[in-house]
Amino acid sequence: MDLVPALEEPLRQPLKSVLGPATAKVMAEHLGLLTVGDLLHHYPRRYEERGQLTHLADLPMDEHVTVVAQVADARLHTFASAKAPRGKGQRLEVTITDGSGRLQLVFFGAGVHKPHKELLPGTRAMFAGKVSVFNRRLQLAHPAYELLRGDPEESVETWAGALIPIYPATAKLESWKIGKAIQTVLPTAQEAVDPLPDTLREGRGLAPLPEALLKIHRPHTKADIEDARSRLKWDEAFVLQVALARRRHADAQLPAVPRKPAPDGLLTAFDARLPFTLTDGQQRVSREIFDDLATDHPMHRLLQGEVGSGKTMVALRAMLAVVDAGGQAAMLAPTEVLAQQHHRSVVEMMGELAEGGMLGGSEQATKVVLLTGSMGAAARRHALLDLTTGEAGIVIGTHALIEDKVQFHDLGLVVVDEQHRFGVEQRDALRGKGKQPPHLLVMTATPIPRTVAMTVFGDLETSVLDQLPAGRSPIASHVVPAADKPHFLSRAWERVREEVENGHQAYVVCPRIGDEEDDPKKSAKKKSPEDEAEKRPPLAVLDVADQLTRGPLQGLKVEVLHGRMHPDDKDAVMRRFAAGETHVLVATTVIEVGVNVPNATAMVIMDADRFGVSQLHQLRGRVGRGSAPGLCLLVTEMPEASPARQRLGAVASTLDGFELSRIDLEQRREGDVLGQAQSGARTSLKVLAVIEDEEIIAEAREEATAVVASDPELTHLPALRTALDALLDEEREQYLEKG
């Protein structure tokens, strides 16, 4: 972050490399580390004490791990195989232990000789490899290892108490090799320029940056690690918050047209025809939005709410307020299915108020048009004309709205639904369609913990709808362990039949479509039976629909829905399902957001372990939308002790989306929080944990806002400016700008 000449020195140079060329190449390609500064900011993931051992009981599947453990026993077996038909094949099995659990290491062929000599019972070593499952037991095959021997000069206590940094590593470069490379460049840490203003650092008692870097890589005590981490967390939180504060500051300077609804206009007429009263939450959030719309700089607001909390209603009232004030509103949806669904439900909710310029339309009415990529030419021409003339007050569409041909009469508000599916350029292009920047309302049904909202959407004000409207039914969720208990899966299909017999409908969700051509290269590789179980392709819509129609759901009307179908076919399938003509819809995640069929009460998610926590929560929100209770069955073949099963257990145990998003974050690597668009080597969070460090993030936000208010260009803080440039090249600054 503090890149200055000594720290900007590339690790790989034509004439003199800081490290060996091969090591530097692996660091660049696999870890994104290009300069001395990058390497110094590659912090240990954790530390081991030689005298203590790690938790083998908590190893994650399919991840590259480093463990410190003791050899319990080692056995050499001979066996016959195709390569060694006379029983000359050799396999070394080593069991290591750490007090919490045991782990098997296996070495084959010529690779057995060195470990057979070195890994004797009682030996301690660091082992690195990828965790796999063989015969339902965790193992490391051919791990790299480094024996832990005490320096003859060191006393036993010093040696046993020394802290060994364990670095995020890759299969090509073990943790201890990264450690050696860092020791080589550590002296240059003295030249690191400190991005924190002196007053802030001294006021909070934080260590200077060079000292923090030394302490994190070469700690003598646990207190050193704590000092270093609290300082480096502040760096990450503060520099990011300064970037966001500068965005908010710049946005506040932009002009916008204030949009205040007319006293007895469209909004009043709409509210009068609602058959229910808005929840307190909806009224509160609407007030926040209307206050923003009335100001003369653009609103930037994030509206988050549980699936079914009535976000669409709040967004629609905001759009009507803007139409009342003489402007137009555009709603951007991520898929055609969702755009059509939004259009249908908005027109239904508005009734004659959506029939502007038509016979029978109310005098306050406006036109609501749909614009998607697959519309016929005539309908499209008509819709575009209505937008240019201002005849249409509301347009709902997909990214087709962004095309150059689309011109608005006076665009006043952009509502983006499920914003994480849109790229930066797309949101920017739509905002560029207004004469002045339009107001922006971003909606998401993925609940975001407060700290993440402050980190990822830090340039948006946040409104939360956490109350479900009356009449929504509870959803019971259960994990169905198909491999351990096949009869549970049979019972799941019986439950689906029972729901249909009671006049309801069901969804079956699969991770894949199933018409992809198999890659001959991939299928040519021979796989072991264990590999087959672990790595079989995810279940596919077309295969599952076929099996169900011929098997457990024979006689029911089953249809499929997926993203590669023609838009008209998708729409027809959704209409039949909504009308109750189809009993069971087998679909991919195209139904994840916005699909609203109150009569659908059951959902079976196949290979549920292949979906993320928030995605499962989103999918589950499609049932229980009417008066009958919902049922969600999470089918998996993963073994009981696996992290995937624990994740599914968490989803089944709570309907609270905020609680689940917390669990989701705790299980993901922190660097993922900022999303793909910000996954540059230096941007991802390394020591800041967005869940645990809520306090630091909130304080850093306050400090950053104050710094930017007094010196927006950071003229008096050149070191902070440098850190900011390293964090944000042009592209990332743009990304933050759009939230």
**Per-residue DSSP letters for 40-95?**
HT---SEEEETTS---GGGPPTT-EEEEEEEEEEEEEEEE--SSSTTTTEEEEEEE
**DSSP helix/strand/coil, 139:** strand
pLDDT range class, residue 736, cuts 50, 70, 90: very low
Residue 456 DSSP class? H
Among 577, 575, 578, 611, smallest CA distance to 592 is for 611
Among 360, 633, 344, smallest CA distance to 479 is for 633
- The helix (H) or strand (E) run that includes residue 721 is helix 718-727
**Angle at the Cα of 503 (from 501 to 505), degrees rounded to 5?**
90
Segment 533-551, tens digit of pLDDT: 445 778 888 999 999 999 9
More confident residue, 482 or 726: 482
Instruction: Report whether pLDDT(730) > 60.
Output: no
Instruction: Report whether pLDDT(709) > 90.
Output: yes
29-38, 47-56, 160-169, 260-269, range with greatest mean pLDDT: 260-269
Among 82, 136, 127, 121, smallest CA distance to 107 is for 127
Tokens 């969702």 found at = 338
What is the C-alpha separation between 643 and 731, in angstroms, rounded?
A: 36
Segment 549-576, tens digit of pLDDT: 999 999 999 999 988 888 888 888 988 9
Give yes or no for a contact between 145 and 126, defined as CB atoms under 8 angstroms apart.
yes
Task: Give me the chain's average pLDDT, please.
Answer: 81
Q: How far is CA 286 from CA 34, 295, 318, 441, 649, in A?
A: 48, 15, 7, 11, 36
The pLDDT, as a whole number, for residue 393 is: 94
What is the C-alpha separation between 663 and 614, in angstroms, rounded?
A: 10
What is the C-alpha separation between 439 and 104, in angstroms, rounded?
A: 59
Tokens 């009958």 found at = 628
The pLDDT, as a whole number, for residue 151 is: 60
Instruction: Report whether pLDDT(422) > 60.
Output: no
Contacts of 724 (CB under 8 A, 6+ apart): 195, 239, 242, 243, 714
- Region for residue 588 given its phi and psi (left: phi exceeds 0; alpha: psi -120 to 50; beta: otherwise): beta
pLDDT range class, residue 639, cuts 50, 70, 90: confident
- Region for residue 300 given its phi and psi (left: phi exceeds 0; alpha: psi -120 to 50; beta: otherwise): beta
What is the mean pLDDT of the segment spanning 630-649?
88
What is the C-alpha separation between 310 and 596, in angstroms, rounded?
A: 12
Instruction: Report whether pLDDT(597) > 70.
Output: yes
The pLDDT, as a whole number, for residue 343 is: 92
Instruction: Report whether pLDDT(320) > 90.
Output: yes
Token digits of residue 637: 């073949």
More confident residue, 515 or 272: 272
pLDDT range class, residue 395, cuts 50, 70, 90: very high
What is the C-alpha separation between 699 and 206, in angstroms, rounded?
A: 14
Tokens 């010093």 found at = 158
pTM: 0.65
Instruction: Report whether pLDDT(217) > 90.
Output: yes
Segment 340-377, tens digit of pLDDT: 888 988 998 898 898 876 655 567 789 999 998 888 88
The pLDDT, as a whole number, for residue 532 is: 42
Looking at 372-376, 537-541, 636-640, 731-735, which range is the least confident one? Answer: 731-735
Beta bridge partners of 128: 66, 144
Segment 71-125, tens digit of pLDDT: 999 999 887 766 666 667 888 999 998 877 888 999 988 888 899 999 999 898 8
More confident residue, 254 or 658: 254
The pLDDT, as a whole number, for residue 170 is: 80
What is the C-alpha separation between 447 and 575, in angstroms, rounded?
A: 29
3-state SS record for 361-403: CCCCCCEEEEECCCCCHHHHHHHHHHHHHCCEEEEEECHHHHC
The pLDDT, as a whole number, for residue 592 is: 63
Instruction: Report whether pLDDT(70) > 50.
Output: yes
Token digits of residue 633: 């069955």
Among 9, 10, 235, smallest CA distance to 727 is for 235
| Cβ atoms within 10 Å of 113's Cβ, excluding its own | 13
State the pairing for strand pair 46-49/144-147. unpaired
- The helix (H) or strand (E) run that includes residue 568 is helix 567-578
The pLDDT, as a whole number, for residue 125 is: 85
Token digits of residue 536: 């079989």
Segment 678-691, tens digit of pLDDT: 333 334 567 877 76
The percentage of the chain sitting over the pLDDT mark of 90, rounded to a whole number, equals 34
Contacts of 202 (CB under 8 A, 6+ apart): none
Token digits of residue 471: 């009449």
What is the mean pLDDT of the segment spanning 655-677?
60
Instruction: Report whether pLDDT(134) > 50.
Output: yes
| Cβ atoms within 10 Å of 687's Cβ, excluding its own | 21
pLDDT range class, residue 230, cuts 50, 70, 90: very high
What is the C-alpha separation between 450 and 455, in angstroms, rounded?
A: 9
Contacts of 160 (CB under 8 A, 6+ apart): 49, 50, 51
Tokens 């039914």 found at = 473
**Per-residue DSSP letters for 513-551?**
-S-PPP-HHHHHS---HHHHHHHPPPPBHHHHHHHHHHT
pLDDT range class, residue 254, cuts 50, 70, 90: confident
Q: Where are the alpha helices (DSSP H) in 155-279?
A: 156-161, 175-185, 198-203, 209-217, 222-253, 266-273
Contacts of 629 (CB under 8 A, 6+ apart): 473, 474, 475, 476, 601
Among 447, 459, 456, 384, smallest CA distance to 418 is for 447
Give yes or no for a contact between 426 and 416, defined as CB atoms under 8 angstroms apart.
no
What is the C-alpha separation between 393 and 378, in angstroms, rounded?
A: 20
pLDDT range class, residue 654, cuts 50, 70, 90: confident
What is the C-alpha separation between 388 and 410, in angstroms, rounded?
A: 8
